[in-house]
Structure 1
Amino acid sequence: MASLQPKSPRNRQFASANWSLSAIVLAAQAALAQTEPPAATLAPVTVSAPRPAPAADVTGFGAWPLRELPLSAQVIDREAIDLWGAQRLADLTRLDASVSDAYNAPGYWDFLTVRGFVIDNRTNYRREGLPISAETTIPLDNKERVEILKGTSGLQAGVSAPGGLVNYVVKRPTDETLREARLQFTERRSLLAAVDLGGRFGPQDAYGYRLNLATESLRPLTRNLDGNRNLAALALDWRANADTLVEAEVEASRKHQPSQQAFSLLGDRLPPPVDPRLNLNNQPWSQPSDFQALTGSVRLTQQIDADWRWSAQLGSQRLKSNDRIAYAFGCSAENRYDRFCSDGSFDLYDYRSEDEYRTQQAARADLRGTVAWGGITHELGFGLLASQLRNHFQPQAYNWVGTGTVDGLSVVPPDPTPADPNTNRDERSLEFALTDTMRFSPRATLWLGLRHTRLSRDSIRTDGRRATHYTQGITTPWVALSYRLTPALQAYASYGEGVESQVVPNKPSQYLNAGQALPALKSRQWEAGLKGGEEREGALGWQIALFRIQRPMSNLDACARLGLSPCLGQYDGEAIHRGVEASAHWKHGPWQLGASATLLDARREGSLIEPETNGQRPTNVPRAVLRAQASWQAAEVPGLSLAALLAHEGPRQVLPDGSMTLPGWTTVDASLRYQTRARTTLLTWTAGIDNLFDRRYWKESPFQYGHVYLYPGAARTARFGLSARF
């Protein structure tokens, strides 16, 4: 059956992880037990404070408030992460209408679609502003916020896929002493215990620290998905003087859990949504995935004078993983490898990629300041970024072992023989960025940006064959004009570019130009928008943006997926995404409301190799997405608040030719929070229900690696939490 084995480039990361932070559980329980006061000392309390206007490091323009920037970005803060019990990036897709899932299997790492494009896990993720690989699980326990830039990111990231950019910002030392312990219990015995400690010490409180520890026993409702995870993170800083700040942070995380195997079409039929508790990765020999990550950074920030400051930053990431799954893929009995068989059977493979190593180092220097030339104020930024990425693997097992069935009852023998070569990849880049914010008047501002990237890439198979090497120089400009129509209303228009770099697979038996680099695939985005509102009680804040992204496409994926030979690797048409995004938020008295919506017209055009896809929407991209949130504080019970979240995604295409459509879906989540004070301890009780009405639906239908995947929405799940802040 070896000739029937279709290739899958699915490189998952799993790392050996048997260590545990069980002591955290005991410490947290002891801390909570000590907070039990006499009933007479209990007094309800409501904690609130004015919140600064959100800003985002991911924008590339420093600390400007988002409401003043001529671009679209979202900041998901710690409060929202805690309120909705988010444990991974995929849990945050419910909070923004521009973001949706893209092959988000439970137990695996996260994929996101932004503005209809799947962003690249190798190039479109940042941590503390430095590039990282997102081909791993990234915990949120020690993250202060997650920033999402929408649209092309050539100015911010150089070589990156269009759609968006994600930046993780870690928790930093607190000015006030922080002692917080948290327990969270999720239906079917999942238990999370965490502590968050922060404060300052030393002469004049010059030194700061923030320690986050977490351990979780994973027992989700989905069967055959039990596991565990652990995190230890430490952030330090030193305020050497009023103008000098030194910061350092490091985190180590491990996760040990199987992943949920997706379903697929049954011949030419879209099956009804299955029980989301069923997992086809349930062979007796199925092994958990293992992820291990060690990541850290050091940053020096120096204020030169009242107008200028510079910073230097170093970052490192080391990932080790073992990728294992009983992999359901295709139907050799019907000679169709993009779906399951008509009778509900499928080919089953024993896939194992052991000892995968990914390492990345980055160094960045930035200089920012303000000057006045010719009566115009210029806010200048200069940046230099050097990075190196190494992905080194071992031969992998990808062996056909028999036939499975969608009822999950079939049992086949394993075959872990690592006979399939993998591909090692090395990459180096040097980037220079320049920004100039020119304020002509209190109303009119011109925003200019330019990044030049020098890229060098090498790849070779683990058996020594198919070596490739190429270098490219790429320049990506960005320009915008903003105009304040009134003190509370701003209009803007922008143009930006993004670039992707591809090389033809070094497979002479199939490609006429095997191993050659294609010219840079340069995406172009036009955007115009309005932003209105003020940061005050009772004010309505809102924004609306219209955008058009034009992305050139190559034929490399189609040649591999369709098995075309000979194939000349080249451009093959383009993808054009036109859309409108709108969002609003309002807070008055006990009420707080928010909503966002996206309408997207996405089309494939000009393809010669697959003309049937021209005029069709891309797969797994809904035309309409809506998110809405509401919270209410009960005046009769101080400290009690209720919240609800609605998520709706419209129909989406399952196949590239548009011949099958996945129905839309709507879910509702609910959350309750109660804060009270016991002597000097602030207690926060939370209870939440995800998928309140237990809706059965297909959540997404990614068409990846030449195969249709169907992921069911999670079953209704209850969670309960208690945090104590001393």
Structure 2
Amino acid sequence: MFFAAACSAHAQQAALPEVVVNEGATAPQADVSGFGDVPLRELPLSATVIDSKQLIGSGARRLADLTQFDSSVTDAYNSAGYWDYLTVRGFVLDNRFNYRREGLPISAETSIPLDNKERVEILRGTSGIQAGTSAPGGLVNYVVKRPTERDLRTVRIETTSRGSVLGALDLGGRFGENRQFGYRLNIASENLKPLTHNLDGNRNMFSLAADWRITRDSVLEFEVEQSRKTQPSQNGYSLLGGVLPAPVDPRINLNNQPWSQPSVFKALTGTVRFSQALNADWRWSAQIGQQRLKTDDRLAYAFGCGAEGNYDRYCSDGTFDVYDFRSENERRTQTAGSLNLKGNVMTGSVRHELGFGLLQSRVRNRFQDQAYNYAGTGNIWATAMVPPSPDAITPQTNRDERSTELSVQDAIRWNDRFTIWLGARHTRLDRSSIGNDGSDPTGYKQGVTTPWIAASYAIQAGLLAYASWGKGVESQIVPNRGDQYDNAGQALPALKSRQWELGIKGGNDAFNWQLAWFDISRPMTNLDACNRLGITPCEAKYDGRAVHRGLEAGAQWTQGPWRIGGSMTLMDAKRRGSIVEPASNGQWPTNVPKQVLRAQAAYRVPSVPGLEVAGQLSHEGRRNVLADGSITLPSWTRVDAVLRYDTKLRGVNTSWTLAVDNLFDRRYWKESPYQFGHVYLFPGAPRTLRLGLSIAL
């Protein structure tokens, strides 16, 4: 509260921006940028904002479903019944550090529902000024639905060709003598029946958001979300020896053992935020949030081929080793609080838009012994049954982390056209870990600073050119395995990535577009290579860099009955400077397509008011399955189709949706992640029908 004490007197014209959310409204700003008050089209960076209307219209249930909206975002081990991984600009986001909710850090090592999200923001590129530590690909921020100004009463029902059924309720509005109190209630329940055999499950979600406009200058906001999802999972297929198999039937379930149990994800998350305008130019806010996760992670885990001595793929004859994996009662708790001060200062004719922030967070992860036991031999036809081996005898590692982040930013507007953007974040880390049996304690403290600078120039109204340079940082500790690493348990120097970006964006309400070129350089370590190649002894250290360069283009056009949009990414990604594996230098990273195209088109039929026909095309180019490029995954293209009809039944607004995903029922390998030291192949989903009805009461 020291900001308020320092500036207690505020002018009569002081007021906070109204907390008003209208369902389906566009989201011209992105909080994930760090400059949430500035429209996205005026910022010198690249980001995608997917609003609630797009989330509902696409039938999205999970983060992995959102790759269709951005050509720079692709899958990275997205399995049914498990949590999501994303790749942005060729780098896999870290589920521990690259995710935010209402601007506060959260863990994405869980299932996160979208039913109560107003929008999902995806920042592309290094995120050093937005996050203390994070992988360089980007940052994801979930923004929850807030109270609406007008009363909202919406019921939504959806079903699929397999028999999944979703029921959702969305209520919002304001009340009180001066309508100073607002609320938003979201409830969802779904019976999950994917096309993959024997992966049925269910999920439930309840959320409540409320606010109190205490005065014209003061707003108190609150929200809480509780969710539960239970569903069996399965890992992907793999190479058969040294052969890439033809795409398999995606309905086959490799986790079909009689003793297989579903994974269970429970989450309770909430935030409280107070905002105060000090005068016409300055305001401060304080926010605190907590996330509590409980997970039971279970799987009949297909991993490697001991018979042939290959532990990163399946056997040549289609068999594989099966492990009984059970990690019960995983508990992850993250608590974060922030103070922010924002305002404007004039120095002569130059305007400074300043921001100061203090963020503190604490992570506490606790695990029990897990089962990871060899159970027998399975096969890709899912016909082999093996006995269970559920004894939890493998210790795990408990983790604690405290971080304090100080940030400052300044948008220096020299005139109506030219702006210099400056930002810096200093982070103090205190991390420790210890085996849940008390063994192998490690810990370290580290301080890192990540700067960012950009310049933008408005060539004319609706046309902006910009250039930026910034750093991101990752912090890594050597595994505490003295039998393999000479410096086991020690912290490596901070891994600092850097990014250059040049871009130009423009347009108006009918047509907008953006073109951006990026160059990201990320330090690499030899940890993965030492483990994978069995190098002993190994001194863990830097081992070259990953350099990703690319060109992104996107546009949206609306004219009369037509809506057309799309994006394209062309990328050159290479490993450079490796000493441990010199053969990898110049090679393309695994599971990163060389080009990606997303396109959407919609047409409102003039002769039938309320009727719209829409289509979606996704294309991803070839990608490496193995690091040496000896096996690659072919490119693939998928087409989806949607028919929407908005009408009134007995005076009630209703919206019907009939969608067909994978319209031509193409069979293809969708992605090839190298995950957990293993090559995996995930098939694309078969043709799926979805019917939805939304009623606005």
Shorter-chain TM-score range = over 0.9
Answer yes or no: is the 8 Å Cα contact 1:261–1:279 preserved in 2.
Answer: no
Q: Which residue of 1 aligns with 2:240?
A: 266
- Tell me the percent identity: 64
Equivalent position of 1:217 in the other structure: 191
**1:234 aligned partner:** 208
- 3-state SS of the aligned residue for 1:281? coil
Q: Segments of 4+ in structure 1 off by > 4 A?
A: 48-53
SS of residue paired to 2:178: helix
Q: Confirm or deny: 8 A CA contact 1:90 1:110 kept in the other structure.
A: yes
Q: Which has the higher relative contact order, 1 or 2, with Cα contacts under 8 A spaced 6 or more apart?
A: 1
Residues 684-703 of structure 1 correspond to what in structure 2 (within 5 A)? 684-703=655-674
1:303 alignment counterpart: 277
SS of residue in 1 equivalent to 2:130? helix
Amino acid at match of 2:82: Y
Do residues 570 (structure 1) and 524 (structure 2) align? no
Aligned-partner residue type, residue 83 of structure 1: G
Q: Does 1:354 align with 2:325?
A: no
Q: 1:106-125 to 2 correspondence within 5 Å? A: 106-125=80-99
1:636 maps to 607
Secondary structure of the structure 2 residue equivalent to 1:569: coil
Partner of 1:651: 622
C-alpha contact 2:27 2:49 (8 A) present in aligned 1: no
Alpha-carbon shift at residue 50 of structure 1 (Å): 10
Match of 1:620 in 2: 591
1:4-15 correspondence runs (5 A): none
- Equivalent residue of 1:155, what SS? coil
SS at match of 2:66: helix
Deviation at 1:53, TM superposition (A): 6.1
Using the TM superposition, give the Cα deviation of residue 375 of structure 1 relative to its aligned residue in structure 2, in angstroms: 2.1
Correspondence list, 1:147-166, <5 A: 147-166=121-140
Root mean square deviation of aligned Cα: 1.1
CA contact under 8 A between 1:591 and 1:631: conserved in structure 2? yes
Q: Runs of 5+ in structure 2 lacking a partner? A: 1-21
- Kept in 2, the 8 Å contact 1:493–1:529? The answer is yes
CA distance in 2, matches of 1:67, 1:420: 51
CA distance in 2, matches of 1:534, 1:232: 38
Corresponding residue of 2:111: 137
What's the offset of the Cα at 1:260? 2.5
Shift of 1:170: 0.3
- Amino acid corresponding to residue 587 of structure 1 in structure 2: T
* Separation of aligned partners in 1, 2:271 and 2:27: 26
Structure 2 equivalent of residue 421 of structure 1: 395
TM-score (normalizing by structure 1)? 0.92
Is contact 2:473-2:496 (8 Å) kept?
yes
Aligned to 1:168: 142
Question: Which runs of structure 2 are paired with 1:370-389 in the superposition (5 Å)?
Answer: 370-389=344-363
Correspondence for 1:195 among 160, 169, 191 = 169
TM-fit CA distance, 1:202:
1.1
Structure 2 residue aligned with 1:681: 652
Task: State the match for 2:374 in structure 1.
Answer: 400
Aligned to 1:11: none
* Matches of 1:172 and 1:592, distance apart in 2: 28
Partner Cα distance (2:462, 2:392) in 1: 62
Secondary structure of the residue that 1:449 maps to in structure 2? strand
Counterpart residue type for residue 619 of structure 2:
H
Residue 545 of structure 1 corresponds to: 516
1:91-115 CA-partner distances (Å, limit 9, x unpaired): 0101110100000001111000000
Matched, 1:330 2:301: no
Alignment match of 1:277 (pick from 251, 275, 281): 251
In 1, Cα distance between the equivalents of 2:275 and 2:495? 36
Deviations 1:222-269 (A, max 9, x none): 111100000000001000111111100000000010012310000010
Give deviations 1:283-331, integer Å, cap 9, x for gaps.
0000001000000000001111110111100000000010100000000
Query: 1:566 Cα shift?
Result: 0.3
Quote the residue 1:503 is aligned against: 477
Do residues 587 (structure 1) and 558 (structure 2) align? yes
Deviation of residue 82 (structure 1)?
A: 1.0
Say which of 390, 401, 404 aligns to 2:364: 390
Correspondent of 2:502 among 528, 543, 559 = 528
Query: Does the C-alpha gap of structure 1 residues 52 and 82 become closer, same or farther in structure 2, counting only changes over 3 Å?
Result: closer
Deviation (angstroms), 1:52: 5.2
Alpha-carbon distance, 1:390 to partner: 0.8
Q: Which amino acid aligns with 1:569?
A: A
Cα distance in 2 for partners of 1:523, 1:545 equals 19
Are positions 1:608 and 2:608 aligned together? no
- Mapped to 2, the partners of 1:256 and 1:94 lie a distance apart of 25
Asked whether the equivalents of residues 234 and 301 of structure 2 are also in contact (C-alpha less than 8 Å), the reply is no
Q: Say whether the 8 Å CA contact 1:160–1:500 is kept in structure 2.
A: yes
1:28-39 equivalent positions in 2, closer than 5 A:
none
Match of 2:529, SS?
A: helix
* 2:315 aligned partner, one-letter code: C
Which 10-residue stretch deviates more, 679-688 or 463-472? 679-688
Distance 2:71 2:26 in 1: 23
CA contact (8 A) 1:187 1:220 kept: no
1:75 to 33, 49, 54: 49
1:488–1:567: structure 2 CA closer, same or farther, 3 Å change rule?
same
1:514 aligns with 2:466: no
Where do residues 16-95 of structure 1 align in structure 2 (5 Å cutoff)?
A: 54-95=28-69
Rounded to whole Å, the distance in 1 between the matches of 2:651 and 2:423 is: 50
Q: Flag the 1:323–1:444 CA change in 2: closer, same or farther, 3 A.
A: same
Aligned residues of 2:568 and 2:595 also touching (Cα < 8 A): yes
Q: Do 1:451 and 1:477's aligned partners in 2 also have CA atoms closer than 8 Å? A: yes
C-alpha contact (below 8 Å) 1:428/1:456 kept by paired residues = yes
Contact 1:115 1:163 in 2 (8 A): yes
| Deviation (angstroms), 1:374 | 3.1
1:412 maps to 386
- In 2, Cα distance between the equivalents of 1:675 and 1:51? 17
- The corresponding residue for 1:205 is 179
For residues 358 and 52 of structure 1, what CA distance do their matches in structure 2 show?
34
Can you list the C-alpha shifts for 1:473-509, whole angstroms capped at 9, x where unaligned?
0000000000011112110000010000001111111
Contact 1:561 1:705 in 2 (8 A): no
